[in-house]
Amino acid sequence: MTFGLSLLRVAVGGALTAHGLQKLRGSFDGPGLEGTAQMMAGTGMHPPRRNAQAVAWTETAGGAALVLGAATPLAAAGAVAVMTTAIRKVHLPNGFFAQGGGWELNAIVIAAAAAIASGPGGGSVDQAFGKKAWGTGGALFALVAGVIGSTVAIELGRRAAPADDAAADDAAAGSSDGDAA
């Protein structure tokens, strides 16, 4: 079982890290922060640049933490949050199947992240620090914290006025040179 969880952890975490780098740096033919910010604006997530940075860093750092099995329930909660938000803001109206732009793959990542949160498997940072398994509590934490995180992000995005986007995005770009959340 630990080999299976380790394999799942590396596969899911690696995929999330790659998706995050697409958004953050434009790696792997991704849109980079500017393209991700445009997508955020189109989904009503204001201010778009700050939300682009948030999702890019959550996927990149959270995915890397999953690969390493470090703070696994927290990393899994990040995965649940971004996948839940993607379902709610983009995929839900398209039905279940990914072939039509639906939410099936997002749901699979959510389930996998929750499974990983129960225990990261062998060769993990958590295990090296004496935490071999988080159990049902870790999985429930990832699910609940992820859904709460998604709800907060969507509500904050909805409440921010699109007219305020330029000022907020300028502040985000100036304070971090566009490279950090």
CA distance 96 to 102: 5
Structure letter (DSSP) for residue 163: G
Helix (H, G, I), strand (E, B) or coil at 117: helix
pLDDT for the residue 179: 44
pLDDT, residue 171, reads 60
Q: What is the pLDDT of residues 36-54, one digit of tens each?
A: 999 999 999 999 999 999 9
Q: Give CA–CA dist 84/36, Å, rounded.
A: 17
| Separation of alpha carbons 62 and 41, rounded Å | 23
* Closest alpha carbon to 62 in 7, 126, 19: 19
Positions in the chain short of pLDDT 50: 176-181
Residue-level pLDDT at 173: 63
Cis before 48 (ω within 30)? no
96 DSSP 8-state letter? S
Report which residue type is found at 63: G
Supply the pLDDT for residue 172.
58
Two tokens, residue 37: 């910010």
pLDDT in tens, 115-136: 999 999 889 999 999 998 999 9
At residue 57, the pLDDT reads 98
Helix (H/G/I), strand (E/B), else coil: 103 = coil
The pTM score is 0.89
Q: Do 24 and 56 form a contact (C-beta atoms < 8 A)? A: yes
Q: How many whole angstroms separate alpha carbon 20 and alpha carbon 177?
A: 18
